[in-house]
Amino acid sequence: MTWPEDTETHDPTLPLAGVRVLDLSRVLAGPLAATVLADLGADVIKVEAPEGDETRRWGPPFHGADAAYYLAINRNRRAMVLDLREPADLDVVKSLAAECDVVIENFLPRQLMSLGLDAVRDSSPHAVWVSIRGASSSGPLGDLPGYDAMAQARSGIMSVTGHELTGPTKVGFPVVDVVTGLYAAIGALGALLGRHADQGRRAARVEVPLFECGVSALINQAANHLVGGAVPGLIGNLHPNVAPYGPMPTADGQIVIGATSNRQFAALCAAVGRPALADDPQFADNASRLAHRVKLDDLLAATFVREPTKVWEAELGRAAVACAPVNRLDEVFLEDQVSAAGLVQTAKHPHGEVKLVASPLRIDGQRPPIRRAPPLLGEHTAAIRDALGVVAPPG
């Protein structure tokens, strides 16, 4: 029994061409990790329970029977339905695991054992095994389920997001799931490199916990606490370490500015017609600007509000000062950069063409293409079974 090769969308020019990935995960972090590998050329087979990945139902909006949420993170793979409670279907997973390079799963430890997937893992020592968890198995939370919102709350991300009027808020997209998915892909790639360097050893088992990934994503906020004991309050869109840095009101909206050095601050002040601010002792360096941030922001806001956003974009652009409009999503996809970069691609789908955000990477000047639209539930089950020589169960 051999891995059923995907001759239809195989691209030998991509860096992971020839790498085989078995995706047993669902929802976001695991499928996203598989998508990163698939975008780079890996051959991914997604295995779903008969009811399918939950995100297929997380709509509206829908494209055919599948929610946009599912479409966002399940491109460039084939999909089959297997009931892992059935011994014959578990044998199919075991056969695929025996032929693949990476397995990605996000079962709770007790689910992994009850389904017999721990035995599948142990019988496939050559395969990098990537386990996504709510929290590390070495701690008291390791056996508990986890979702992005809970990880944002427990990791402290919510405590530094929002302002006095809103109270703590979560980030407006599943940031911990995304960070976890990216760490999972990195862990898989690192383990593949390690396996290549020492082909005699068992492939690594990589655990990727949401909680720990959320804490790691705090970056400077975590360091501010560990080094300086800071317990930050809710400062909204302000930066805890840099000023001026954040949104300014304009005549027709908002623009985000950032001046992270004295040179940049002087350039900003000159560009907005307030060069004297750069010579004011209250704003002489970043520490001074932080100490007098409220006054500085008020002075700058009184200037920015006089002109539209586009005017300030042009002025600050000429001065090489970092800035950006606060776009709505419809405005994001009207940005010239999106079209020029080919970030949105159209994929052929059984229910009609669908537009998707492609990989943000460029490899040798080219963006990896969407080679296959997100598959329908069980779309390739029969073909994969045939290739494996496995007879489908009756009924």
Pairwise CA distance, residues 162 & 7, whole Å: 49
Within 113-253, strands assigned E span 128-133, 162-163, 167-168, 205-209, 245-249
Active site residue: 39, 101, 148, 177, which one?
A: 177
Pairwise CA distance, residues 132 & 10, whole Å: 27
Pairwise CA distance, residues 263 & 351, whole Å: 54
Closest CA to 152 of 210, 92, 83: 210
Pairwise CA distance, residues 180 & 32, whole Å: 9
Spatial CB neighbours of 228, under 8 Å, sequence gap ≥ 6: none
DSSP conformation class of 375: P
Token pair in block for residue 87: 């011994």
* Crossing angle (nearest 10°) for helices 309-318 and 262-271: 130
Please check whether residue 259 is in contact with residue 278, taking contact to mean a CB–CB distance below 8 angstroms: no
Strand partners, 208: 132
Q: Catalytic site residue 177?
A: yes
Pairwise CA distance, residues 61 & 74, whole Å: 16
Label each residue of 221-287 as H, E or C: HHHHHHHHCCCCCCCCCCCCCCCCEEEEECCCCEEEEECCCHHHHHHHHHHCCCHHHHHCHHHCCHH
Pairwise CA distance, residues 327 & 130, whole Å: 36
Pairwise CA distance, residues 26 & 177, whole Å: 12
H or E segment to which residue 63 belongs: strand 62-63
Pairwise CA distance, residues 263 & 68, whole Å: 45
Spatial CB neighbours of 241, under 8 Å, sequence gap ≥ 6: 220, 224, 286, 290
Pairwise CA distance, residues 154 & 374, whole Å: 32
Active site residues: 177
